[in-house]
Amino acid sequence: MLLLNCKENGRYVVKNISADKTATEKLRKLGFADGVKFFFLKKYPMGGAIVETEGVKIGMGVAVAEKIEVETCEK
Amino acid sequence: MRKIVFVGRPNSGKSTLLNSLTGEDFKVGNWHGVTVREKERTFWSGGEKLIAVDLPGIYSLSSYRAEEKVTVDYLRSQNYDGIVLVAEAAKLNFALDLYEELTALNRPIALFINFYNELTRLGGKIDIQKLSARIGAEVFFGEACKKKDAEKLNSFFDQKKAVVGKVRAVDKREDLFFIPRDRSRSGFFLKAGFCYLVFALSSLVVFWSAFGKYGVGEGLSSLIERFIDFLCQKTQMFTDKNFTPFLSGLIVTGLRSVGTVASFLPQVAVMSLGLDILDQSGFISTLAVVTDGALTRLGLNGKAAYSLLGGFGCTTVALALASGIDDAPVRRRTALCLPFMTCSAKTPVYALICKITFGKYAPFVIVGIYLFSFVFSLAFALVSYKADGRAPSPLVVEIAKLRIPKAKVLFANLKRVLKNFGLRITTTVVISSVVLYLLGSLSTSFTLTTPSDENSILALLGRSVVVVFRPMGIDDWRYAVSAIVGVFAKEGIVSSLTSLFPSGLTLPFSSALPYLAFIYAYPPCVSALSASFKLLGKKEGAYLAVVQLLFAFLFAYAVRFFILIVAKTAGVMI
């Protein structure tokens, strides 16, 4: 499923990021990459989304958020 | 002198730590672009004078952003004797990734864990001794804003203990620390509605505090005005007795000009404090994400939000903030539209003219000018986007933790703003006042005449320029000369008007509004122009300045024309 379809405060794991190279690299440096578990915090009507992983909250525009596939994480 | 560099992720507290160590005044902020170049200061430790180098924040040594490149290039090519890695306690894991990269530089490294108390309040813990043994380096912890915690680093700075080569990469980390998730009401503070409410409320509060009838800014401003009047009267009584009329006039004119500009200090302070509170609270990064969608449609992105807000403070500072935007098209468009955001230096001009012309409605007119400038500058960004068609790059940003701003930091930043404002008043305004007085007191046959006499050199220059001001309803050359003085510093307009109109200004509504429109729209001061040239390049910067000047005249003429049409329709004589 896509990141933007996640439920608030749900726990997920990143399956695939197909955003552009620069955005993907920025996300990696902030600790958000394939296989990483995260909490989905917020989605904005005209904005993107905010996720949280290992104490870091990451904000991303909709152009990035709609290129991220995730899976529900059991724990 | 030995040199120690301070490195860390953005907003980890490097500048705060340095301020505590050096007692100096590095600007502290919570958004990108606060530290954009290396800054050096000296400090004493154990009887030895050392150089501390504050570097822009980095996430890793494989950089891509302009300000990260500054740090990476410095670390790789400059000479220095040690590194202090400043880490936020809650993000220690990421800091250790950076630590591993720094070990390749083969310099002594110490780790300072900041916001340690915050982590322990959440129930987290770090085994400091085990961590220090594992990484093979000294680990210090505490609050960067506290001098006693910052001075713990003295044992690292001690020359006898400086060691190279014992630092090790950190593989296993699970047993070193426990960092719980911070669930403290974060959901509420991330709501879009909350962001917009905070932004709207804080803007209202700031503007009303600065300009409103019962606001702090207006109240203090009136007190200063009354004091300046008293001081000028007493000074004139003394100088009239002891100096020639020319010298007496020069002294009193200079004093009154500086005093009039100084009377707007409280309003500038309130505006600056308001913006700083927004920044220090960590709110700006959330605002960037919330506004990203809307700004993207204009060819900008969320990272431009703070630069645009900063434009209300100072165009020069806002352009410096814009230089930290890593996306080139967004950076360019932000630089193009920023000169159309009205800066706080123009506030005294608006306040002076609006008070005289609009009386009790002055605050509303001033707020209206600010709102108009916000809308117009965004429209200009959109036009620029449609012209070149390059889409902004997607936004990815680390969300800062919401914190109550520290009074100490707010006060230090405010002190810096007021000091810079005060310096500008003392230099530019004094010089322009003296030059105007001299030119106004010399006739065209180079004899002394009464100040601002119609036969003075200044009047001759002013009359040759006022021709282009006539279509906006300005016939008096003194307004034209004051506008020209504003090219050097906008505060100079007020001092110039004050000295050229010693009995006070009178400007009818039909001329005041076009004049205000011109002052709003014409190019910013030389320091902002210089920053614009640096960001856009000389050719494009000069082109923008010329376009802006032409637009300012046309805009003022259009406002005047509109007023005449409305007056004619309503049967009102102007």
Predicted TM-score (pTM) of the model is 0.74
Name the residue range of residue A21's domain.
Answer: 3-72
Residue-level pLDDT at B213? 63
- Band of pLDDT at residue B451, cut at 50, 70 and 90: low
Task: Report the pLDDT value the prediction gives residue B323, as an integer from 0 to 100.
Answer: 81
A-contacting residues in B 160-199 (Cβ below 8 Å): 179, 181-182, 186-187, 190-192
* CB-CB contact of B189 with B399 (8 Å): no
* pLDDT band (50, 70, 90) for residue A14: very high
Q: What is the pLDDT of residues B156-179, one digit of tens each?
A: 888 655 555 455 666 668 788 888
CATH number of the domain bearing residue A41: 2.30.30.90
Q: Tell me the CATH number of domain B2-178, given options 3.40.190.10, 3.20.20.100, 3.40.50.300, 1.10.760.10.
A: 3.40.50.300
Q: Evaluate if residue B548 carries a pLDDT over 90.
A: yes
Give the per-residue pLDDT at A55: 78
Strand order in the sheet with B2-8: B39-45, B48-54, B2-8, B82-88, B109-114, B138-141
Does the pLDDT value for residue B538 go beyond 70? yes
Average pLDDT, chain B: 84
- Enumerate helices (H) and strands (E) in chain B, giving the number of each: 26, 9
From B91's Cα to the closest Cα of chain A, the distance in A is 6
| Separation in Å, CA of A72 to nearest CA in chain B | 19
Backbone phi, then psi, for B214, in 5-degree steps?
Answer: -105, 15
Contacts of B291 in chain A (CB under 8 A): 47
Q: What percent of chain B has pLDDT over 90?
A: 26
Note the pLDDT of residue B287. 81
Task: Look at B395 and A61 and tell me if their CB atoms are within 8 Å.
Answer: yes
The residue among A4, A53, A56 with the most chain B CBs within 10 A of its CB, best to mutate, is A56
Q: A20 pLDDT band (50/70/90 cuts)?
A: confident
Domain ranges of chain B: 2-178, 195-570
Q: What is the mean pLDDT of residues B200-208?
A: 72
Q: CB distance A20–B181 less than 8 Å?
A: no
pLDDT (0 to 100) of residue B488: 77
Residue of B166 and B407 predicted with greater confidence: B407
B289 touches chain A (CB under 8 A): yes
CB-based contact (8 Å) between B94 and chain A? yes
- By C-alpha distance, the chain A residue nearest B97 is A29
Higher-pLDDT residue of B574 and A42 is A42
Number of alpha carbons in the 13 Å side-chain half-sphere of residue B93: 17
Q: What six digits make up the tokens of B96? A: 């250790």
Which is higher by pLDDT, A14 or A75?
A14
The answer to whether A60 contacts chain B (CB < 8 Å) is yes
Residue B273: pLDDT band with limits 50, 70, 90: confident
ipTM: 0.94
Q: Return the higher-pLDDT residue of B496 and B453.
A: B496
Position B285 scores a pLDDT of 81
Cα→Cα distances B373→B198, B337, B340, B565, Å = 21, 10, 6, 24
Q: Which residue has the higher pLDDT, B438 or B386?
A: B386
pLDDT at B28: 55
First to last CA, chain B: 71
Question: What is the reported pLDDT for B133?
Answer: 87
Q: Report pLDDT for B10.
A: 84
Q: Which of A39, A41, A47 sits opposite B291 (nearest CB)?
A: A47
Instruction: State what percent of residues in chain B have pLDDT above 70.
Output: 90
- Residues in chain A closer than 8 A to B296 (CB atoms): 61-63
Give B54-88 pLDDT, tens digit per residue: 888 888 888 666 667 888 889 998 889 999 999 99
Mean pLDDT throughout B224-234? 88
pLDDT at B400: 81
Q: Residues B470-485: pLDDT tens digits?
A: 999 999 999 999 998 8
**A46 vs B: CB within 8 A:** yes
Alpha carbon distance B129, B512 (integer Å):
69
Q: Please count the structural domains in chain A.
A: 1
Determine contact: A36 vs chain B, CB below 8 A: no
Give me the amino acid identity at B10: P
